[in-house]
């Protein structure tokens, strides 16, 4: 009976297809599970399933997305991952790790608490405190607590703009994640960690301060400095991630910072910079872990 590896995601996009192909190339069975169709039962034969297809029969489950939803939906999805782990399914990345990387505040706190250099950051839901932070830090990036690909980020460098933007966020009951803007030559580095090694890295150069590939940044392979390599591996280790996208920045003042770490990272841009299969590297790690 072939090894059965599930892929949990919201849709069959690029990454699901890449993982599906890599799993099948290893002679294993790949099964796609839409995360919004999860169902659990207590006292029945199938404890966790999607339309009658058992998740607990999987040797491992690769989590590709935890989509936006209500508080109840998010809690249920995370509970399901915890339950699967109790049933003996190897979940990658684990529910424990996803909970520590799903929002920028907790991730930043954990990294800074372990000595990982990060820009000065202030997080609050209080308008006046956020406005004071913008004033004190001067030039800042206001980021959504949840989210990726640079969506929703705003650079603010004057108090009048800060007032207007913060008021708009207040209407939507947003948390203010205010981070010091650090000049960085409009480029950063994504290091892709699998297990205990970096399998690929790229430099992203933007047309402005945003350097996300999805926002049109140019990508090229890069050889990491020893400092960047050590920081990327340490950051992923702190959060107990099987695989991760670690974003690093070489500041114009010479410092190196970890900006973000993604526990469900994409690699579409990164794949353009390397001949090796990123999905294949992930699947190799999964097979070694079960």
Q: State the CATH number of the domain containing residue 175.
A: 3.30.1490.20
Domain end (from 180, 197, 217): 180
Instruction: Check whether residue 68 and residue 196 sit in a common domain.
Output: no
Arithmetic mean of pLDDT over the chain = 93
pLDDT at 211: 66
Q: Are residues 250 and 194 in the same domain?
A: yes
Residue written as token pair 């190799």: 284
Residues 175, 239 within the same domain: no
Both 191 and 107 in one domain: the answer is yes
214 shares its domain with 161: no
Query: What range defines the domain where residue 106 resides?
Result: 101-116+184-289
Of 145, 162, 180, the position where a domain reaches its end is 180
Statement to judge: residues 198 and 256 lie in one domain: yes
**Are residues 227 and 254 located together in one domain of the fold?**
yes
pLDDT grade, residue 108 (50/70/90)? very high
Q: What is the pTM of this model?
A: 0.91
Counted domains in the chain: 3
Helices and strands, number each (H, E), in the chain: 9, 16
Predicted local confidence at residue 206, as pLDDT: 78
- Residues 42 and 55 grouped into a single domain: yes
Q: What is the CATH number of the domain that holds 76?
A: 3.40.50.20
Neighbours of 246 (CB within 10 A): 29
Beta strand 243-250 pairing with 187-194: antiparallel
**Dihedral angle of Cα 52, 55, 56, 61, to the nearest 10 degrees:** 170
The stretch 185-198 carries a mean pLDDT of 94
- Half-sphere exposure (CA, 13 Å, Cβ side) for 68? 5
Q: Are residues 142 and 207 in the same domain?
A: no
In this model, does residue 54 exceed pLDDT 80?
yes
My answer on whether 196 and 106 are in the same domain is yes
Confidence (pLDDT) at 186: 85
Residues 106 and 248 in one domain: yes
Tell me the CATH number at 257. 3.30.470.20
The pLDDT value recorded for residue 197 is: 96
pLDDT at 225 over 80: yes
Strand ranges (DSSP E) for the chain?
4-9, 29-34, 38-40, 48-50, 53-54, 60-63, 90-92, 121-124, 140-143, 154-156, 176-180, 187-194, 197-205, 218-221, 243-250, 256-262
Domain end position, chosen among 163, 180, 197: 180
Asked if residue 210 has pLDDT above 90, the reply is no
Q: Do 79 and 195 lie in a common domain?
A: no
pLDDT at 75: 94
> Angle between the 226-238 and 104-113 helix axes, to the nearest 10 degrees?
110
Angle at 264 between CA 175 and CA 79, to 5 degrees: 75
């Amino acid at each position: 009976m072939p090894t059965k590896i599930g892929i949990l995601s919201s849709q069959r996009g690029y990454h699901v297809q890449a993982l599906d192909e890599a799993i099948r190339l290893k002679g294993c069975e790949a099964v796609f599970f839409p995360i919004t169709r999860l169902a659990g039962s207590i006292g029945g034969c199938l404890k966790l399933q999607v339309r009658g297809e058992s998740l607990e029969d999987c040797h491992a489950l690769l989590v590709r997305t935890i989509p936006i939803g209500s508080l109840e939906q998010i809690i249920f999805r995370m509970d399901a991952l915890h339950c699967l782990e109790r049933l003996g399914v190897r979940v990658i990345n684990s529910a424990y790790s996803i909970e520590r990387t799903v929002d920028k505040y907790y991730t930043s706190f954990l990294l800074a608490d372990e000595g990982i250099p990060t820009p000065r950051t202030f997080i609050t839901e209080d308008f006046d405190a956020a406005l004071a932070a913008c004033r004190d830090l001067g030039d800042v990036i206001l980021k959504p607590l949840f989210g990726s690909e640079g969506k929703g980020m705003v650079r603010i460098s004057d108090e009048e703009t800060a007032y207007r933007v913060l008021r708009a966020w207040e209407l939507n009951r947003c948390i203010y994640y205010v981070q010091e803007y650090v000049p960085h030559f409009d480029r950063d580095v994504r290091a892709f960690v699998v297990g205990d090694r970096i399998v690929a890295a790229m430099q992203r150069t933007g047309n402005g301060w945003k350097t996300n590939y999805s926002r049109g940044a140019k990508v090229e392979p890069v050889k990491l400095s020893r400092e960047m390599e050590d920081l990327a591996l340490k950051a992923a280790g702190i959060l107990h991630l099987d695989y991760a996208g670690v974003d690093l920045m070489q500041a114009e003042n010479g410092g190196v910072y970890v900006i973000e770490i993604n526990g469900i990272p994409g690699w579409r841009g990164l794949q353009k910079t390397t001949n090796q299969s990123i999905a294949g590297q992930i699947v190799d790690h999964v097979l070694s872990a079960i």
